[in-house]
Amino acid sequence: MVNLLTLNTLRCSRKDVVEGRLALTAARVEVEPTSEYDAAFLQHLLPSLEWSQLREMAQVVGVTLPEELGKELAGDEAFLRALHHVLFDVQVLEGSLACAESGQLFPIAEGIANMMLPEEVV
């Protein structure tokens, strides 16, 4: 199953795309604890998150994250636990990802994002 952490790392790789940022549409979501909370791991992960994209994806599945990812949040236990929940426990089973630049759609079916592109755009 695909979680929001994985979706946050995906990009459209079409040859005519520069940034490749993806927007999520979720048709079916499941919330299920999949891993143990680890504050040190999350603190290490924070700088690599595409925060604005993660915020948008979280809103799609009904979770509101702070607008800005300030340094003070790295030490906030409640925030880190909520972030763990969003990144690892929220699974998108059905939906799609859309490239903001090209409009290319990538379906998500049975918890798997199909990122294959037609040969003519690779």
Residue ranges per structural domain of the chain: 2-116
CATH number of 2-116: 2.20.25.10
> Which residue from 97, 117, 90, 70 is spatially nearest to 9, judged by alpha carbons?
97
CA of 8: how far to CAs of 49, 57, 79, 94, in Å?
Answer: 7, 8, 18, 16
CA of 20: how far to CAs of 40, 50, 56, 119, in Å?
Answer: 29, 12, 15, 17
Q: Could you tell me the pTM of the whole model?
A: 0.89
Per-residue pLDDT of 50-94, as tens digits, reads: 999 999 999 999 999 999 999 999 999 999 999 999 999 999 999
